[in-house]
Structures are given as C-alpha cells and as structure tokens.
Amino acid sequence: MLLAGYFFYFSLQKHSIGHTLLNRVRSLGIPLLVWGFFSVLCNYWLYKSPVNISQWYNSCKGFWFVWVTLALSIITGLIEWCISLLSKLFPTPLYSLLHVVVFLLVILIPNNIPILWYHLFQYMYPYFIIGFLYNRFKSYIPKTLYYAKYLCFLLFPLLFTHFKRNTFIYLSGINFRNEFGMINTAQLKVDLLRWGIGLVGSICVMICVELFKKIPCIGKILRILFAYIGTVSLQLYVTQRICLETLYAFKINQLFQTKNFTLMLKNIYLYNLYWTPLVAVLFCLILYFVVKLLQKNKFLNFILFGGR
C-alpha cells in the first residue's frame, strides 16, 4: 500500500485529478463488482450460499485490496483537488496539512462504521498517505535526514522481536478506539507496533530496490520486471482470490481430512516453507497465462481487469 500511494502521485502528475479518479473507478471499481459476482457464484456452487445483493456486497468486501486502494485514491485525489482550489485563492504550501488533518480524522473515528470494512481502511491509510507524501516532498528532505532511512535496517529486526502471537492482526483486530470512542491503550500499542513494522519493512524493501537499481545489469532487469509486474498485479490478485483462496482452499480442506495430508498439516514448517510457496508459484504461473489469454479479448479485458 505504501507503493500504491507512492505511484498514485505520479498518476496525478501525468493527468488531471478528474481524469485520474475516473480512471481509477474504471480500472478498479468495475473489476471489483464483476469478480465479486463471480465469488458469489463460486460460494453458491461450493457451499450453496444464497445469491443476492447482500452476498454480492460481502463478496466485494473480500477483495479488500481493490476497494481500499480505490477508496484511498478517491480521498487523496479529492484532498489534492481542494488544495489546488485553495492555492489559487491564497497560495501557501500549508494547505498540504489537509492530508494530516484527514489522516487524524480517519484514524480517530471508531471502526464500527457499517461501510465495508472500515478498520482495514484505517489500517492501510497511513501507508498509502506516507508513500504519497514522501514522493511529493522527497526533494525537500535534507540529505542528513534522507540518509537516516538506512537506520531502518537496524530498527526492523528490533521491532520485529516485539511481535508476538497476540499482536497478530486476525487475533487482536485493528483500531484502538472502541464503539464508544474510548481509547484502548493496549490496542494502541499493538497498532503502533504493526504500523511501525510495516512502515520500516516497506522502507527497507524500497532501499534495497534503489540500491540494486544502481547496478547497471541488475537495475535494467528490475525496471523491466517492476514495470511488467505493475501491469498484471491487479489481474493476478483478483484471479487468485477466486482460484486460490476460494476453489483451492475448498479442495485442500477436503484433502487435509485424508491420512496422506495429515503429516503436512501438522508440520507447520513443511506446510509454510515448502508447500505454500510451491503452490503460490505454480498458481502465479498458471494464472499469468490465463490472464494474458483473457486480455486478448477487449471486452473481457475491460470488465474483468478494467481495461488494463
């Protein structure tokens, strides 16, 4: 999500805010609705779940990365639009503080809002806006502070040692404010730790990429690789959501009930370090060719992948 915000700044620089937001709605919104409907059909086929608007809505929520990216892009784009209007009336760089104000509002609002999964929106917003603002103001960062980013390589393992089982996101949840607006200090510490680990880890990855890009032969390969991955990342995400997380998960749960898979199920190292990466790579390769085949048809490419 940090990179999503980082690259969104480039989109706003290349095109107008209106054009950029409409393009986001087309390239993310349409696939979200279409694949959400496919998910409903899969659940009906596998679990005999009802086919209705409520199920469609819940299925769309499952593609959380798509709708969160779309929502964050719209909010950030609208803030930039407000800043551009205000700058025409009273030019000052202080209007960028609007991003900070909105950020605080998003974080402080209790997460019991019945709109999609607001807690995911809250959790991802810091990464998106930090990536966006970093790209926007990186030329203003002093060199001494710029080189301080290398301290992240020391900070990441230090923070990671404090990551315990009870801080896992699916166990402790997100947001330090309950439905009554009260602050839970224990949850606040967990949220800050997770944000810190995610941010520092993302910076470490970006530093590694920047360093490798300076090596002539490796840098050229990385630029080509990242440019190409960017063109198929959404396609692979939505297709694996159906094929891997729905169909494969259903089948593997059945297989794990047999004796042949009992050993692998109990051995977490075998399952996580061998089986899971192997399945992930195989699915990525297969789905890549499926995506390229579907993209040859303009209509299918538009409704399934937003015309990417």
- Residue 177's SS3 state is strand
82-108 tens-digit pLDDT: 888 888 877 776 677 888 888 777 777
With a cut of 70, say whether residue 209 has pLDDT above it. Answer: yes
- 215 within 8 A of 223, measured Cβ to Cβ: no
Q: If you average pLDDT over residues 239-259, what whole number do you get?
A: 76
With a cut of 60, say whether residue 77 has pLDDT above it. Answer: yes
Averaged pLDDT score across all residues of the chain: 79
Q: If you average pLDDT over residues 149-178, what whole number do you get?
A: 74
Tokens standing for 120? Answer: 């995911």
Residue type, 269: Y
99-108, 158-167, 258-267: segment of lowest average pLDDT: 258-267
Angle, in degrees to the nearest 10, between helices 64-89 and 216-242:
120
Q: If you average pLDDT over residues 53-63, what whole number do you get?
A: 86
13-57 tens-digit pLDDT: 888 888 999 999 998 899 999 999 999 998 888 888 888 888 888
Contacts with 227 (C-beta within 8 Å, 6 or more apart), sequence order: none
Question: What is the domain partition of the chain in residue ranges?
Answer: 1-140, 143-214, 231-308
**Cα–Cα distance, 95 to 90 (Å, whole number):** 10
